[in-house]
Amino acid sequence: MKIITAKTKFRNYSIYIEKGLLKRAPMLVKSIFSDKLKAALVTNDKIFSIYKKDIKNFLDATGFKNKIIIIKDGEEQKNLENTQYIYQNLLDFNFHRNDIVIAFGGGVIGDLAGFAASTFHRGTILLQIPTTIIAQTDSSIGGKAVVNYKGIKNIIGSFYQPHAIIIDPLLLETLEEKEIINGFAEIVKYGVVFDKKILSSLEELAKDSSDKNVFVSNKEQGKSINNISFKILKNKKFTDIIYTCCRIKARIVQKDEFDTGYRNLLNFGHTIGHAIEKVANLKSISHGMAVAIGMIVATDISIELGIANVSLRNKLLEIYKPLKLPHIIPQIDVNELLSSLKFDKKFSSTENKFILLKDLNKPIFGYNIEENIIKKSILKNMPTEKLNEKSFNN
């Protein structure tokens, strides 16, 4: 088992990473939280339908008095209404600040349960058990506990570090392909901004997977699939990539826990990505795919400003292709997309702020980028030239 210690001003906590760890997790949890009596596990209906038996066995084996709180699946469920639903369940359970909230799910569940845990009794014990690539490599680490409000992503929240994170890559093997692709986008972000060896590892895994005509089993679908994405996921080297991303994230959080400067670099691709999600009402495009598009747009802005060479864009698209990452923006109004950018948390009332690139692993902050440059970079990734020309002239 690999263990990373995240050291923050709020608290130090351990990240435990191992394939098959969920089976041994009850013993681990009891050793970490030996004096706790109650646990409330928050998950969604889709995850619960897959892992119902595992969840119940896990909770029973801890010996804690427990309750399961089930939320509907979907990014739009990360809201104040479901936060209140969790509060009510915790009240009914006579839950106190020394009891444990367990977030068992992807980024939505981790954020929602984390926000509820951070605010109920001004903070309860929080254990993260992430089940998606994005959650295992990024969102479960660092203490951003957030919800969406009126279609604006992550606009309400707090900083609240978990007390422990248990990562079992086997949980990823029930993901649908689109969720795997979402996760690849977040991993590519780490490779582009912080460590290009991650990109080399992904490219090697993709090549190795495409060279082998091997079928892999997907537990949720109950069948074998000849698919590069699934084969990358099942390769034992993929766990090493998860570990590397976790280590990078823990180091960044230690350096800038409250996201006042350096940690902003983690938002590469997210500025445009979050705006796309907002215009799409948090439904028609998933977070990872929106971020993948956002990374290309940010690269195009860098090229337009003369900061980066067009070869950087070509390199990213080469990486994107075997991973099935998109770079074409859905058919949404470009002016509405530009308007949505004002809600970005890195912006102020007087200036915009983008994470740009000089080259791989050479990110910089770009301030007060002219709207025509942003618009031109967005239009470059619109579906058709006709649409681009029409939108640009409006």
Residue 281: pLDDT above 70? Answer: yes
Confidence of residue 215 (pLDDT cuts 50, 70, 90): low
What average pLDDT does range 347-368 have in this prediction?
92
d(CA 354, CA 369): 8
Bridge pairing between strands 125-130 and 144-149:
unpaired
| pLDDT bracket for residue 387 (50, 70, 90) | very low
Mean pLDDT, rounded, of the chain: 92
pLDDT value at 140 more than 80: yes
CB of 34 within 8 A of CB of 14?
no
How confident is the model at residue 214, as a pLDDT? 52
User: What pLDDT is recorded for position 349?
Assistant: 67
How would residue 210 be classed by pLDDT, with cut points 50, 70 and 90? confident
Indicate if the alpha-carbon torsion angle 264, 266, 271, 274 is positive or negative. Answer: negative
Report the C-alpha gap between 216 and 342 in whole angstroms: 44
Per-residue pLDDT tens digits for 112-128: 999 999 999 999 999 99
Q: Stretch 174-189: mean pLDDT, rounded? A: 95
pTM: 0.91
Kindly indicate the confidence band of residue 392, based on its pLDDT and cuts at 50, 70 and 90: very low
CA neighbor of 283 nearest in space, from 341, 333, 350, 330: 330
The Cα–Cα gap between 387 and 394 comes to 11
Q: Looking at residues 203-215, what average pLDDT do you find?
A: 78
**Of 171, 170, 174, 169, residue with least CA distance to 223:** 174
* Rounded CA separation 21/1 (Å): 8
Question: Tell me, what's the pLDDT at 332?
Answer: 87
Total Cβ atoms within 10 A of residue 332: 19
Query: What pLDDT does residue 216 have?
Result: 55
Q: Is the pLDDT of residue 385 over 50?
A: no
What is the three-state SS of 89-141? HHHHCCCCCCCEEEEEECHHHHHHHHHHHHHHHHCCEEEEEECCHHHHHHHCC
Higher-confidence position of 333 and 194: 194
What's residue 394's pLDDT?
Answer: 37
Q: Kindly give, in sequence order, each residue whose CB lies less than 8 Å from that of residue 153, ignoring residues fewer than 6 positions away.
A: 75, 274, 277, 278, 282
Q: Checking DSSP bridges between strand 223-225 and strand 152-159, what pairing results, if any?
A: unpaired
pLDDT of residue 50: 97
Read off the pLDDT of each residue in 142-169 and give the average, rounded to a whole number. 96
CB-CB contact of 107 with 277 (8 Å): no
pLDDT tens, residue by residue, 314-355:
999 999 999 999 999 988 899 999 999 988 877 876 789 999
Provide the pLDDT for residue 38.
Answer: 95
Would you state the pLDDT for residue 217?
60
pLDDT over 70, % of the chain? 93
CA separation for the pair 229, 178 (Å, rounded): 9
List the structure tokens of 336: 């509405």
Which pLDDT belongs to residue 171?
A: 97
* pLDDT 10s digits, 287-321: 999 999 999 999 999 999 999 999 999 999 999 99
Structural domains in the chain, CATH included, are: 2-174 (3.40.50.1970), 177-393 (1.20.1090.10)
Report the pLDDT value the prediction gives residue 176, as an integer from 0 to 100: 92
pLDDT of residue 211: 66
Helix 287-304, helix 371-379: angle, nearest 10: 120
